[in-house]
Amino acid sequence: MKSDRKSKLHIHLLFWILYYILEVYLDFYWSRYQFPNFQWHIRLQNTLILELGYLLVKIPLAYSLLYIYEKVHTKLFFKYLLSIFIVVIAVLGHRFFTHYIIYPYIYGVTEMLDGKQPSGYINGLVAFNSFMDLIFMVGLVFGIEITRQKSLLKDQISQLKSEKLDQELTMLKAQINPHFLFNTLNNIYGMALKKADETPDVILQLSKVMRYNIYEAAEKNISIEKDIENIKDFIQIQKIRHHHLSISLHEDIDNSSQKISPLILIQFIENAFKHGISESLGDAFIHINIQLKNGILTYFIENSKEERSHEHSTKIGLKNIRRQLELLYPNHRLTVENKSDRYIVQLIIDFNDKFSS
């Protein structure tokens, strides 16, 4: 709020400086024909003074109307009535200053209209000229302020959308970690009951994965090298659990520091283990290929599948992943093939695309 007021002050101050310069230029140019006998420096001095005087009428008028427009909460008819009253007062003030001060005291002459002295300082034509001068200024002020407010509103909406997306992504990620943690702890519990020799190794690998999930995954982006290292730790845990499983991971990365949103790639592998691998499958397999060339990521996963797989929970997992990809990489390409005996997933992300986060 404080920065908004400061920004508003700077914009309006700049406007009045530029407006004053413009009015000085126009009146100085006009004075060449109205007062041809005056030297240029006298005309410039007079113009600088009279435009400062006009600002004493224009600035209160502009901000009075702005106040009515923004702050006065009443019926529209009364707002219009009050605005008209203020404009009339401003026109009278403008004419009084012009007729009784500018001409006799600044230029030392009597105001003339078509070669004749007008009857009093209120006259239809000169009053209309004053009205148009004031309304032109009011229009500029309202235009500046409305444009500023729209720009501010646009920034606020953009910030709210960004915060909403960040919150949504955080919630989507949070849906993944607990599931993996609870399943792995249950498996460790089972291994401990059997006093399996692999139990300490599984705990160590789980510790590394959870450290990644807690600290690294909190970042908006991490290096793809760290993300792949986490995938390897996750696979190592699963290998210990599934001795019958045939799993291969091939990586071809030309830029290990390429940034990527954490926990995107591993979700497909989690789904492969969750829905495609079981003791009932004698030839269970998962094949993973990760390639990054010239800023384009090609991610391929193929895994075996049970005849009676959990289709509903698989769709929920994919829905979660798809939503994250829509938010993070709107122009990604994701294809999922659900065959009778296997799942095939291919994801392509172009990090060169300006819409990629």
For residues 40 and 22, give the distance between their C-alpha atoms in angstroms, rounded to a whole number: 17
What was the pLDDT predicted at 224?
A: 93
pLDDT at residue 44 is higher than 60: yes
175-350 CATH, one of 3.30.230.10, 3.40.50.1970, 3.40.50.2000, 3.30.565.10: 3.30.565.10
The closest of 311, 313, 328 to 264, measured between CA atoms, is: 328
What was the pLDDT predicted at 174?
A: 55
What was the pLDDT predicted at 319?
A: 78
pLDDT at residue 307 is higher than 80: no
Q: Which residues contact 152 (CB under 8 A, 6 or more apart)?
A: 4, 7
What was the pLDDT predicted at 351?
A: 92
What was the pLDDT predicted at 58?
A: 92
Give the pLDDT band of residue 309 (cuts 50, 70, 90): low
Give the pLDDT band of residue 186 (cuts 50, 70, 90): confident
For residues 190 and 161, give the distance between their C-alpha atoms in angstroms, rounded to a whole number: 45
Give the pLDDT band of residue 334 (cuts 50, 70, 90): very high
CA distances from 86 to 82, 94, 123, 133, 351 (A): 6, 12, 19, 15, 58
For the chain, how many residues are written? 357
Average the pLDDT over 308-336 and give the result: 75
Strand 342-350 relative to strand 296-304, pairing: antiparallel
To the nearest whole number, what is the mean pLDDT of the chain?
81
For residues 237 and 96, give the distance between their C-alpha atoms in angstroms, rounded to a whole number: 89
Which of the pair, 191 or 348, is modelled with greater confidence? 348
Average the pLDDT over 277-298 and give the result: 83
pLDDT at residue 14 is higher than 80: yes
Average the pLDDT over 299-309 and give the result: 80
pLDDT at residue 151 is higher than 80: yes
Highest mean pLDDT among 11-25, 145-159, 234-248, 270-284: 11-25
Burial class (CB in 10 A: 0-12, 13-18, 19+), 65: buried
Domain ranges of the chain: 2-164, 175-350
Specify the amino acid at residue 208: K
Q: What does the pLDDT look like over 96-127, one tens digit per residue?
A: 888 888 888 887 777 766 555 555 566 667 78
Give the pLDDT band of residue 129 (cuts 50, 70, 90): confident
Give the pLDDT band of residue 288 (cuts 50, 70, 90): very high
For residues 294 and 253, give the distance between their C-alpha atoms in angstroms, rounded to a whole number: 9
Q: Which residues contact 128 (CB under 8 A, 6 or more apart)?
A: none
**Helix, strand, or coil (residue 105):** helix
Which of the pair, 214 or 255, is modelled with greater confidence? 255
Q: Which helix (H) or strand (E) holds 177?
A: helix 177-193
Contact (Cβ atoms closer than 8 angstroms) between residue 286 and residue 277: yes
What was the pLDDT predicted at 60?
A: 92
CA distances from 80 to 69, 84, 87, 142, 173 (A): 9, 6, 10, 15, 54
